[in-house]
Structure 1
Amino acid sequence: MAATRILFAGTPDFAVPALSALIAAEWSVVGVYTQPDRPAGRGRKTVPGPVKQVALDAGLPVFQPPSLKNPATIEQLRGLNADIMIVAAYGLILPPAALASPRLGCINIHASLLPHWRGAAPIQRALLAGDEATGISLMQMEAGLDTGPVYATQRTRIAPRETGGSLHDRLAAIGAKLLLDKLPEIMAGQLTPAPQDAGQATYAAKLEKDEAPIDWSQSAEVIDRRIRAFNPWPVAQTRWGGETLRIWEAVPLEGDDTHNSPPGSILRSGPDGIDVATGAGVLRITRLQAPGKRKIAAADFAHSRRLDGTVFG
């Protein structure tokens, strides 16, 4: 393994388990590409991203070009003489010259069972769609958007109360393990990637903040999926009393669909939460956040306010 020269490209938390696994297994990582540092937090201080921090802690060379399209950047990449590049949520487009630079090309750790959910937000789109399962794909990268042939997949069931955050963390760990399991075979030329069936492809568009507002005319089941998918970002929200409330947790009430109230109407509130009429069924909000405040139980929010008979949205 020491003779194999690996480049790693990734930026956020999703990529950390894979890089950490390569380091722990003593693969020779000769460089780490990650996006430039950006301001974060209330103080807007420039801080290293998660992958950069892991790389620095391990003493690995770090490269942060704003783009991989610059000829000088490509020459630098070629100069590293890598056998392969492992890519996980890097966030920058790899042009053909970059894809062809490592001897065996670039392998992407993608958080879906390709060709299902190609694109930027496969985890959240799977939850929004109500998929029963998802997984990880190890894919040979090519110029198209997640169109390359697949070396291996690992399937996992989506738990009934799974959130975007919990599924993200599980898939990141699954991706790291699948990479370590299959990388020796890939490097030895013992694993042939299978072409994707383009006719079965679906697209996972990037999440946008303007998707956060809840449409109470949708069913309780659909709204519940949105709340879980958008936790921890962009977080589902609704208007009440001139304020925007962030809705962190909720649960549909089974068998409670006999109300005749307009969608968004608060039917009742109490120690179990806030029950809201939807287009089909009732959704119980259990955890929320008022502007400038911390997350609290919905029951605590309701305790000091007259909610019954008012309307969300």
Structure 2
Amino acid sequence: MKVIFAGTPEFAAVALKAMHEAGFDIPLVLTQPDRPAGRGMHLQPSAVKQYAVAHGIPVAQPVSLRMDAKDPQRAQEAKAAHDLLLATDYDAMVVAAYGLILPRSTLDIKPCINIHGSLLPRWRGAAPIHRAIEAGDAETGVTIMQMEEGLDTGPMLLIERTPIGPHDTTAVLHDRLAAMGAQMVVKVLHKMAHGIIEAVSQPENGVTYAAKIAKEEAVLDFTLPAKEIGRRIRAFNPFPGAHGTVNGTVIKLWAADVIDAGSDAPPGQVLAADAQHGIVVACGSGALRLTELQKPGGKRLAAAEFIKGFALDGLRFE
């Protein structure tokens, strides 16, 4: 079976690696153009491109696949990409976190299947892993679905579940779901090759949308209950990094435990910051014990190490 792969970040690269190692013929990889990254803001290839180049797989990096784009240059690049797809001998396309919308003209060439990091129809959209943690979902998973023009609305080919642990961050859950999705797509492709795959329509009830994460969401509101703030800290680890401000200094909060601590102190007040109690902060209800923090220009530190270089006792997060 010949399969074109379209994806960009590490989540997608894990699937590409699994497909390649499973022996599928991958005649072409589509990935987003190189982007500036790092301190020097030099152009960096995507994780998918790095794997493809290292294994001699041809790569194309169109800025768009929409031939009706208003920008003539984008439309021209999309036409070139479309012609390349038509000229490539393939049976199906696998898409994982590609970052570009596949128009009808692309979907109509050959079957397209998508690896989506949620239990559809819950958390359609751009940030399903973050939103599942933020919302306090007890479980999540991966859905392999047929692609259509709607946003993650296609029929499901395979779905598998995993619990969300009380300390799971987006980083931890991302890696688990990436590994799940890679195994699942290989299984689905084998079934497609033998003509034994069955598609099931998504339920009409339970649809939610996982909006893209905005940087301003990472500013914590300590008037919220501690359990909600704790979920946001886990959801925004590693991006965009939840934070609060103390005396004008932005402190990133990477990990925290929710504790049952009654207090009349205003939300954000540091109730304790010592070796015995750790760093405890009052919230709208309950409190958080902060366990990993980072000041500007510094490293992530355990609470005991952080307070050696940054006194918090008696201060307040805003």
* Same fold flag (TM > 0.5): yes
The one of 248, 268, 271 equivalent to 1:267 is 271
Residues in 2 aligned to 1:9 and 1:96: alpha-carbon distance in whole angstroms: 16
Q: Which residues of 2 match residues 1-313 of structure 1 at below 5 A?
A: 4-69=1-66, 70-102=78-110, 105-253=111-259, 255-256=260-261, 258-271=262-275, 272-313=277-318
What letter corresponds to residue 290 of structure 1 in structure 2?
Answer: K
How far off is 1:236 after superposition?
A: 0.2
Residues in 1 aligned to 2:80 and 2:205: alpha-carbon distance in whole angstroms: 38
Across the aligned residues of Structure 1 and Structure 2, the Cα RMSD in angstroms comes to 1.1
Residues in 1 aligned to 2:137 and 2:278: alpha-carbon distance in whole angstroms: 27
Contact 2:282-2:288 at 8 Å conserved across structures: yes
Cα deviation per residue 1:102-153 (whole Å; 9 max; x = unaligned)? 2xx1000000011110000000000001001000000000000000000010
Residues in 2 aligned to 1:191 and 1:45: alpha-carbon distance in whole angstroms: 44
Residues in 2 aligned to 1:78 and 1:273: alpha-carbon distance in whole angstroms: 61
Contact 2:27-2:89 at 8 Å conserved across structures: no
Residues in 1 aligned to 2:129 and 2:286: alpha-carbon distance in whole angstroms: 26
How far off is 1:229 after superposition?
A: 0.6
What letter corresponds to residue 309 of structure 1 in structure 2?
Answer: G
Gaps of 5+ in 2: 67-77
TM-score, normalised to structure 2's length? Answer: 0.94
TM-score, normalised to structure 1's length? Answer: 0.95
**Length, aligned pairs only:** 306
Bigger Cα displacement from structure 2, 141-150 vs 13-22: 13-22
How far off is 1:34 after superposition?
A: 0.3
How much identity, in percent, do the aligned residues show? 48
What letter corresponds to residue 34 of structure 1 in structure 2?
Answer: T
Residues in 2 aligned to 1:305 and 1:110: alpha-carbon distance in whole angstroms: 41
Gaps of 5+ in 1: none
Distance 1:139 1:309, change over 3 A: same
